[in-house]
A and B are shown apart, each in its own frame.
Chain A
Amino acid sequence: MIGRTGTRPVRAPVSWRRRGDRAAYLFLAPWLLGMAVFTLGPILASLYLSFTEYSLVAPPEWLGLENYREMLDDSRLRSALVVTFTYVFVSVPVQLTLALALAVALNSGVRGLRFYRSVYYLPSLLAGSVSIAILWRQVFGGQGLVNQLLDRFGIQGTSWIGHPDYALGTLVVLNAWTFGAPMVIFLAGLRQIPAMYHEAAAVDGAGRVARFFRITLPLLTPIIFFNLVLQVIDAFQSFTQAFVISGGTGGPADSTLLYTLYLYERGFGSFDMGYAAALAWFLLVVIAALTAANFLLAKRWVFYGD
Chain B
Amino acid sequence: MRTRLPRPRRLAPVCLAVAVALTAAGCGSGDDPASGGTVELRFGWWGNADRAAATQKVIAAFQAEHPTIKVKGETTDFNAYFDKLATEVAAGGAPDIITLGGAYPREYGDRGALLDIAKVGDRLKTDRIDAAALGNGTFDNVQYGVPSGVNAISAVLNPALFQAAKVPLPDTDTWTWDDYQRIARELAVKLPAGRYAVADPTRTDMLDVFSRQRGEALYTADGKVGISTRTLTDWWTMTTALRDAKASPPAATTAELQGQPAPEQSLMGRGLAAMAFDWSNQAKALTTAAGQPLELHRVPGESTAAQPGQWLQASQIYSINARTRHQKEAATFVDFLVNSPAAGRIILTDRGIPANSQVRAAILPALSLDESRQVKYIEALTPKAGPPLVIGPTGSTDTPGILDRLNVDVLFGRTAPAAAAEDFVKQVRSAIKE
Interface residues of A (CB under 8 A from B): 55-58, 141-142, 158-164, 245-249, 251-254, 265, 268-271, 273
Q: Mark B389-404, 1 if CB is under 8 A from A, else 0.
A: 0000001011001001
* Across-interface contacts of A253 in B (CB, < 8 A): 255, 405, 408-409, 412, 414
Task: Find out whether the CB atom of A164 lies under 8 angstroms from the CB atom of B255.
Answer: yes
Task: Find out whether the CB atom of A251 lies under 8 angstroms from the CB atom of B398.
Answer: no
Task: Find out whether the CB atom of B89 lies under 8 angstroms from the CB atom of A56.
Answer: yes
Task: Find out whether the CB atom of B113 lies under 8 angstroms from the CB atom of A251.
Answer: no
Question: CA separation between A55 and B258, bound complex, in Å?
Answer: 26
A–B Cβ pairs within 8 angstroms, 29 of them = A56-B111, A57-B90, A141-B256, A142-B252, A159-B252, A159-B255, A159-B256, A160-B252, A162-B251, A162-B252, A162-B253, A163-B252, A163-B255, A246-B259, A247-B258, A248-B79, A248-B259, A251-B405, A251-B408, A253-B255, A253-B409, A253-B414, A265-B401, A268-B86, A269-B82, A269-B83, A269-B86, A270-B395, A270-B431
Question: CA separation between A144 and B292, bound complex, in Å?
Answer: 24
Q: Which 4 A-B pairs have the closest CB atoms?
A: A247-B259, A162-B256, A252-B255, A57-B111
B387 an interface residue at 8 Å Cβ cutoff?
no
Question: CA separation between A162 and B408, bound complex, in Å?
Answer: 9
Q: Is the interface of B mostly helix, strand, loop or mixed?
A: helix
Task: Find out whether the CB atom of B404 lies under 8 angstroms from the CB atom of A58.
Answer: no
B108 an interface residue at 8 Å Cβ cutoff?
yes
Question: CA separation between A269 and B107, bound complex, in Å?
Answer: 11
Question: CA separation between A304 and B255, bound complex, in Å?
Answer: 50
Closest Cβ–Cβ distance, residue A138 to chain B (whole Å): 11
Task: Find out whether the CB atom of B90 lies under 8 angstroms from the CB atom of A158.
Answer: no
B87 an interface residue at 8 Å Cβ cutoff?
yes
Q: Mark B234-270, 1 if CB is under 8 A from A, else 0.
A: 0000000000000000111111111111000000000
* Across-interface contacts of B259 in A (CB, < 8 A): 245-249, 251
Question: CA separation between A164 and B414, bound complex, in Å?
Answer: 10
With A58-B112, A247-B258 in contact, is A268–B404 under 8 Å at CB?
no
Question: Taking each of B256, B412, B414, B431, which has the highest tally of chain A beta carbons within 10 Å of its own beta carbon?
Answer: B256
* Across-interface contacts of B257 in A (CB, < 8 A): 162
Q: Is the interface of A mostly helix, strand, loop or mixed?
A: loop
Closest Cβ–Cβ distance, residue B98 to chain A (whole Å): 12
* Across-interface contacts of B398 in A (CB, < 8 A): 269-270
* Across-interface contacts of A248 in B (CB, < 8 A): 79-80, 83, 259
* Across-interface contacts of A57 in B (CB, < 8 A): 89-90, 108, 111-113
Interface residues of B in 377-434 (CB under 8 A from A): 395, 397-398, 401, 404-405, 408-409, 412, 414, 431
* Across-interface contacts of B401 in A (CB, < 8 A): 249, 265, 269
Closest Cβ–Cβ distance, residue A98 to chain B (whole Å): 27
Closest Cβ–Cβ distance, residue A156 to chain B (whole Å): 10
Question: Taking each of B86, B89, B107, which has the highest tally of chain A beta carbons within 10 Å of its own beta carbon?
Answer: B86
Task: Find out whether the CB atom of A55 lies under 8 angstroms from the CB atom of B405.
Answer: no
Question: CA separation between A248 and B258, bound complex, in Å?
Answer: 10
* Across-interface contacts of B253 in A (CB, < 8 A): 142, 159, 162
Question: CA separation between A142 and B261, bound complex, in Å?
Answer: 16
* Across-interface contacts of A251 in B (CB, < 8 A): 255, 258-259, 404-405, 408
Interface residues of B in 351-380 (CB under 8 A from A): none
Task: Find out whether the CB atom of B86 lies under 8 angstroms from the CB atom of A164.
Answer: no
Closest Cβ–Cβ distance, residue A67 to chain B (whole Å): 14
Question: CA separation between A158 and B107, bound complex, in Å?
Answer: 38
Closest Cβ–Cβ distance, residue B320 to chain A (whole Å): 15
Q: Which residue of B80, B86, B260, B261 is within 8 Å of A56 (Cβ)?
A: B86
Task: Find out whether the CB atom of A164 lies under 8 angstroms from the CB atom of B412.
Answer: yes
Closest Cβ–Cβ distance, residue A233 to chain B (whole Å): 25
Question: CA separation between A13 and B261, bound complex, in Å?
Answer: 70
* Across-interface contacts of A265 in B (CB, < 8 A): 401
